[in-house]
Amino acid sequence: PSSIPSTTSCWDGCSRKSEETRSVNTTAQRPRVVSGMRPTGKLHLGHLVGALSNWGPLHEKYECLYFVADWHALTSEHAIRKSITSNAIDNVADWISAGVDPERSTLFIQSLVPEHAELALLLSMVVPIPWLERVPTYKEQQEQLTDRDLSTLGFLGYPLLQTADIAVYDGRFVPVGDDQVAHLELSREAIRRFHQYYGEVLVEPQPLLTPVSRLPGLDNRKMSKSYGNTIDLTDDAETVTKKVRQMYTDPKRVRADIPGTVEGNPVFMYHDAFNTNVAEVDDLKARYRAGKVGDVEVKTKLAAAMNAALEPLRARRREVRVKPDHIRELLVEGSRRARVIAQATMERVRDAMKLRY
């Protein structure tokens, strides 16, 4: 593996370059990457750009563990009677379609590895409640999701469970969006505190942030299932084209001959993210700024570029669908492998805490 480039420009992590390079060059002991996703519904372009497109290639440099955070989904969806397991399977089908290779990364289910819960419980002995109350997402979500009761211990403990998810595998790097940075900050603090009591048994994780700016939703608000402004990975070409046609664009540009703004315009942000024909994008931008192109042309070309980019995903999705039990089996097997690692960590943790009988 010494031929693997040490650091790509895409990833934050340059400061740790020498350490990574050393690990990659010496043995099969590559640093571990851990990340998870809550199975709360269909995956959309935000998941693709913000997470999945980054997850896939990481196995070249790291040992990767990716899991379905079903317990985390329950922290906010506990009142929903519908089972989340079908979402879980469906989401993993999307992961694979998006290029996460189940042969090279371990894919598994959080709740099939109960050691996550054991470590979360043990960490909870040393983590003060105010630390959890101070995590910004805690209050934000409570204010935003008013249709449900989030005054539960489970919801307060969300970042602590996330800490355990990572630490139980000695996860060193965590590929996440910038919305997760505060959680990882809590993780590092919790682990440091644990170390003060019991010695250095765990690893402090670092985020692997993607520099790609977040894609807005079709209406220029934050992309979110609850706003109905997403393009889903399972949308067919016709649906994508229809959605693109309805996209928000420069509102001041009521006619095609009025000069438009490209910066911050979702139509052009999507062009930048999906259209590989850079010359075409540059030409469209120049003509848009000059008031020399209609929205219809800009959007028609965007829809074509997006459908071209999504077609390989759709093809893989069709393949995956042919073997419906395959994903379930792969997750059960992945969970078994993950559990072996988690059990070894828990042996160390129990030793450190003198829980030996």
Interacting residues with ligand TRP (CB under 6 A): 34-38, 69, 72, 162, 165-166, 174, 176, 180, 183
Q: How far is the CB of 345 from ligand TRP (least distance, A)?
A: 15
Two structure tokens written together for 78: 């506990």
Query: What CA–CA distance (Å, rounded) separates 180 from 201?
Result: 24
Closest CA to 175 of 212, 213, 209: 209
Closest CA to 165 of 178, 147, 152, 184: 184
Report which residue's Cβ sits closest to ligand TRP.
Answer: 36
Q: How far is the CB of 77 from ligand TRP (least distance, A)?
A: 12
Q: How far is the CB of 19 from ligand TRP (least distance, A)?
A: 20
Q: How far is the CB of 17 from ligand TRP (least distance, A)?
A: 22
Residue closer to ligand TRP by CB (options 34, 305) is 34
Residue closer to ligand TRP by CB (options 76, 275) is 76
Element (H, E) at 328: helix 324-352
Q: How far is the CB of 51 from ligand TRP (least distance, A)?
A: 8
Residue closer to ligand TRP by CB (options 40, 275) is 40
Query: What CA–CA distance (Å, rounded) separates 168 from 67?
Result: 13
Query: How many other CB atoms are found less than 10 A from the CB of residue 86?
Result: 10
The three-class DSSP label of residue 32 is strand
Q: How far is the CB of 334 from ligand TRP (least distance, A)?
A: 15
Residue closer to ligand TRP by CB (options 47, 285) is 47
Burial of 314: CB neighbours in 10 Å, binned 0-12, 13-18, 19+: middle
Closest CA to 42 of 216, 230, 221, 222: 230
Residue closer to ligand TRP by CB (options 223, 244) is 223
| Strand order through the sheet with 173-176 | 106-109, 63-68, 32-37, 173-176, 206-209
Q: How far is the CB of 3 from ligand TRP (least distance, A)?
A: 29
Residue closer to ligand TRP by CB (options 36, 102) is 36
Residue closer to ligand TRP by CB (options 61, 183) is 183
Residue 123 amino acid letter: L
